[in-house]
């Protein structure tokens, strides 16, 4: 299981980045971070619906790590602050480390929501492999799928969360 940080330090494809984060305490409580991709070592592309560039010079990521949940979302924006995708990680644990940097323990299973709100479940093979190899327990495997179901039913359907809450923090942290 990988620990991932809200400062973008685990984004190995970035040559240059900056970040800032804050705690939000409203309808949605948790840590929100802005990672600015100054320059990239290589562009990242995905292939669902069509080829999509996920990472390039000048792109930005808003990462939201909610309190008392087992998921994290990264909203990727292009140079024009247009949404590229929302990427949900299923998590075992969300927390803050000894350096005071928010993190999550990644449970392999991920959900991509495209700008047209189509939902794509990915990395089921990685989740199964982690279970088969004993990297995760059956309980953690089941948690990943329960979290996915909750996300689809409660969070992803809330277009205001995706189209208002996350862009609001892009604006707040980008200034």
The predicted-structure confidence for 59-75, as pLDDT tens digits, reads as follows: 999 999 999 999 999 99
- Give domain status of residue 71, yes or no: yes
| CA atoms within 13 Å, Cβ hemisphere of 31 | 21
Q: Sorting pLDDT into bands at 50, 70 and 90, what band is 143?
A: very high
Tell which residue, 35, 39, 36, has the closest CA to residue 15.
39
- Give domain status of residue 175, yes or no: no
Domain span holding position 151: 3-170
Q: Is the dihedral of CA 146, 122, 88, 117 positive or negative?
A: negative
For 8-60, the pLDDT digits (tens) are 777 777 768 778 999 999 889 999 999 998 887 877 787 776 788 888 888 99
Domain CATH code at residue 81 = 2.40.380
- Give domain status of residue 25, yes or no: yes
pTM: 0.92
- 2: Cβ–Cβ under 8 A, 6 or more apart, which residues? 10, 105, 106
DSSP 151: I
- Give domain status of residue 131, yes or no: yes
Structure tokens at 61: 């990521």
């Amino acid at each position: 299981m990988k620990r991932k940080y809200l400062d973008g330090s685990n984004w190995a494809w970035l040559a240059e980045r900056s970040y800032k984060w804050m705690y939000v305490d409203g309808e949605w409580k948790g840590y929100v971070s802005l990672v600015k991709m100054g320059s990239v070592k290589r562009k990242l592309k995905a292939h669902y619906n069509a080829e999509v560039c996920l990472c390039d010079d000048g792109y930005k990521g808003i990462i939201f790590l909610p309190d008392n949940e087992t998921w994290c979302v990264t909203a990727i924006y292009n140079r024009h602050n247009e949404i590229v995708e929302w990427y949900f990680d299923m998590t075992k644990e969300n927390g803050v480390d000894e350096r005071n940097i928010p993190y999550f323990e990644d449970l392999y299973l991920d959900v991509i929501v495209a700008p047209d709100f189509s939902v794509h479940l990915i990395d089921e093979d990685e989740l199964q492999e982690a279970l088969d190899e004993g990297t995760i327990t059956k309980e953690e495997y089941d948690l990943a799928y329960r979290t996915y179901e909750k996300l689809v039913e409660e969070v992803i359907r809330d277009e205001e969360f995706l189209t208002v809450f996350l862009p609001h923090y892009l604006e707040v942290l980008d200034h």
